Amino acid sequence: MELFLIPFLFGAYYAAMIFPILHILLLKIRIPQEEKALAALSKQKTI
């Protein structure tokens, strides 16, 4: 919610539209990478 609200408060309308979209795209890349790294780490600990 703050990704939309704070830029609107300061009149940064383009940032309010673009940054949440970029944030979602970043999370779509980041979350699978983190899960892959955690899975590899848990395999190392069980060995």
pLDDT level of residue 47 (50, 70, 90 thresholds): low
2, 17, 20, 37 from 11: Cα distances, Å: 14, 12, 16, 39
Q: What is the pTM of this model?
A: 0.65
pLDDT of residue 3: 73
Residue matched to tokens 């970043």 = 26
Domains in the chain: boundaries:
2-46
Residues 1-44 have pLDDT tens digits of: 777 788 888 888 888 889 889 999 999 999 999 999 999 998 88
Mapping DSSP onto H, E and C, the string for 16-43 reads HHHHHHHHHHHHHHHHHHHHHHHHHHHH
